[in-house]
Amino acid sequence: MTHFEHNLPILRRRAGYTQENLAEALGVSRQAVSKWESGQSLPEAATLLTLADLLSCTLDQLMREELSAEDFPPPSAAEAEAEEARFALFVAYDRHMDRFSALMSAGVFLSVASIAALLAGYLNWGNTGMIVLPFFLCLAAAVFLFIWGGIAHSDFRKAHPEVPPFYNPEAIAAFRKLFRAGIAAAVAAILVAVAILVGLSVLWQFQPNGGAAACTVFFLIVAAAVGAIVYLGIQHSKYHGSGAARAEGGSGEYGPDGPSDRRCSLIMSAATIIFLIAGLVFNAWHPAWVVFPVGGLLCGMVDAPGRK
């Protein structure tokens, strides 16, 4: 026999959660929490573990023991206010890091895709001054995103220099699985892009500007893969940049400021500079593309060991 529907509202009120706040913390709807408390349904086993962690109770207290409201008085006004402030910080932190991840990865995507835009301009307008127009538009958009995201992130870090542990071990473990799979898929995509480039170069070798068209496809795939690596890296900082990271011996930083992030930025910046110099000065666009798969592989190598 379970006393879950009886115990949940008692423990929820003691922890200072409303149904809506608890639902948001668990990633479920408020109606789901309402059904639990009315006995219409039960959460999954993984959700029960997270729920017990959020409510600072054991599974026995949550499921088996018949609790009394007198044994668990509601928190004082100060405690309730502190818990509400902590929850508000969690929501702000989670949304900020998701937005920051999207801005930075989109900026990196546009930076690499600007080369594809340059080649696409060449395919459309030939060897004229117009070919640089899409290139600089992509770079301008990337710089805008970098500045916007960078300033917003700097302001958030100044406003909240210390971030308490928000994510439970189960959520961190689930992200680690996603992180490992995502990094592996991104590096594999770069290698697939090389294979596609070689195949299209052979297939279109007798077509006018066939090499430029093949390189355009190649750089779009590389841009998406490198953008994914950056997104996952910043998401890793989100999950491991709060008190949970310090508890596990991490740095506690929550931004792309770690050594591996800086090395990856330097690698891809150097690859872009080498490619542009080789193409613009020596007209060696075709062999110079190899710097990007090499850069992507190096990013994966320097990023993965520190983020297992």
- Which of 20-29, 240-249, 284-293 has the largest mean confidence? 20-29
Read off the DSSP letter of residue 73: P
Residues 161-187: tens digit of each pLDDT? 777 777 777 788 888 899 999 999 998
- What pLDDT band is residue 41 in, cutting at 50, 70 and 90? confident
Distance, CA of 136 to chain centre: 27
Using the CB atoms, write b or e for 272-307: b if 16+ within 10 Å: bebbbebbeeeeebeebbebbbebbebbbebbbeeb
| DSSP run (H or E) holding 152 | helix 132-159
- pTM for the model stands at 0.62
Residue keyed to tokens 């301009």: 121
Distance, CA of 53 to chain centre: 24
Please report, for the chain, how many H helices and E strands are present, in that order. 13, 0
Top-confidence residue, 102 or 161? 102
Task: Identify residue 54 by its one-letter amino acid code.
Answer: L
Lookup: tokens for 85: 């402030």
What pLDDT score was predicted for residue 103? 93
Report the chain's mean pLDDT, rounded to a whole number. Answer: 78
Average pLDDT (59-78) is 69
Residue keyed to tokens 């996603």: 178
Taking the C-alpha atoms of residue 261 and residue 240, their distance in angstroms, rounded to an integer, is 14
What pLDDT score was predicted for residue 141? 93
Residues 111-167: tens digit of each pLDDT? 888 888 888 888 877 777 788 888 889 989 999 998 999 899 989 888 887 777 777
